[in-house]
Amino acid sequence: MSKQDGSSRQVTTGPVDDSATPILHVDMDAFFVSVELLRRPELRGKPVLVGGTAGRGVVAAASYEARRFGVNSAMPMSVALQRCPNAIVLRGDHRRYSEYSERVMAIFRELTPLVEPLSIDEAFLDVSGARRLHGSPAEIAWTIRRRVHDETGLTCSVGVAASKYVAKVASSRAKPDGMLVVPAAETVAFLHPLPVSALWGVGRVTEQSLLKLGLRTVGDVAEMPVDALARAVGPALAAQLSRLANGVDARDVETRRVEKSIGHETTFHHDLVEHADIARELLRLATDVGVRLRRAGVLARTVTLKLRYGDFTTVTRSRTLAEPTDVARRIYEEALVPLADLVGDGRRVRLIGVRAEHLRPAGDGAPLWDPDEEWRDAERTVDEVVRRFGRGAVRPAALVRPAAESAAPTVRDGGDEETPSGPRSFW
């Protein structure tokens, strides 16, 4: 049995058929903010934001009190403070968040070995093999909520369903601090009244395309012939949306998560115009991406450049490599090719990003000819120096400049400001 309050929140309050619902989606409630409130309890009940406080900082998390003003994560902090002038802004402590995340994930793994973390604050669990020890899926969900609160002081919301997609929708409906079980036989009835934005893969642009077709609910999408849907959103997405709208999601919980891409991006405190300054930041990002590729033991077949201009227009350009790589120099040179056509003529750049995609394990065969062999050896040597002496010990010569000549400070990956240092250089 479930009930819905005056908002869109929906929770299970009594006995319910969970016999065919082995998938749980657990999502921590306003995680970063909640961790901060553990040491600042006097801020409970107040609008609190966690994120960058200077220049073009962004909101990393917002308390539910702040969300009532239309504030949400990834919003520029300047906009958030316009909507909620009384908000209290706290700078994040990612080490502390990681510690709490590890404690929460450990609770999950004590109940089932089938845990698939999605991010620092959410995970899928398959509890089909845990019934004998820990009870039914609903009972396990109650246990998780109780243990997380008792052992960390935090709250979480849990969706229980027959598939990953429906479980994730259910946890979002139960927020904050609730649990919602969707019996397998009621999956379609649960999904069909929801807005099209509830479908996985529907962002703002796709939502507008669906609305133009008169499709406002998940049920509308389920009734639309796939061929007709494909003309609006393309065949691949149309097939996916049709399946999800009909409650079909055959994906298993994957305990070993393989990254599909690795990337970094930077939002500048002040727009950049000069090609040299923009290229220098691109080099910095490519260096970070290369390090992460080698650390993960994967190679990338595609390099994607992302630019956002001062008017918030965003463009991306991708290049497919002849041979997959984990070499930062190759990633930089490939991303540099389209950059020439995207900057200049006074265009002001607000954000730049580089992403390595179409990843594969580094040991899956060796190319007959490796054009990056020398650079790869040099970068692996740098990796070892950094491992022994710390980040910043060595970096490309182009990134080593006197402080007075350095470009405007940047906010990198939505968080930390870089500070000048005196590293050794290469390239």
Please enumerate, by residue number, every residue annotated as part of a binding site for Mg(2+): 27, 121
Catalytic residues, by residue number, are: 122
Does an H or E element contain 141, and which?
A: helix 137-152
Contact 54, 417 (CB under 8 A): yes
Token pair listed for 315: 């463009």
- CA–CA separation, 122 and 259 (whole Å): 16
Contact 253, 116 (CB under 8 A): yes
Closest CA to 92 of 71, 70, 77, 107: 77
Long-range contacts of 99-104 (CB under 8 A, 24+ apart): 100/31, 100/35, 100/152, 100/154, 101/31, 103/151, 103/152, 104/28, 104/148, 104/152, 104/154, 104/156
Which residues, in sequence order, are CB contacts of 345 under 8 Å at separation 6+?
none
Closest CA to 292 of 273, 315, 264, 267: 264
Contact 358, 300 (CB under 8 A): yes
- CA–CA separation, 403 and 419 (whole Å): 9
Beta strands in 162-239 (DSSP E): 179-181
Binding site per annotation, positions: 27, 121
- CA–CA separation, 174 and 188 (whole Å): 18
**Kind of pairing, strands 298-309 and 314-325?**
antiparallel
Contact 244, 165 (CB under 8 A): yes
Contact 159, 24 (CB under 8 A): yes
- Bridge partners of 76, per DSSP, are 58
Going by the DSSP 8-state scheme, the letter that residue 76 receives in this structure is B
Amino acid at 67: R
Decide: helix, strand or coil at residue 115: strand
HSE on the CB side for 41, CA within 13 Å? 3
HSE on the CB side for 168, CA within 13 Å? 18
For residues 270, 271, 275 and 280, what is the CA-based torsion angle, rounded to 10 degrees? 40
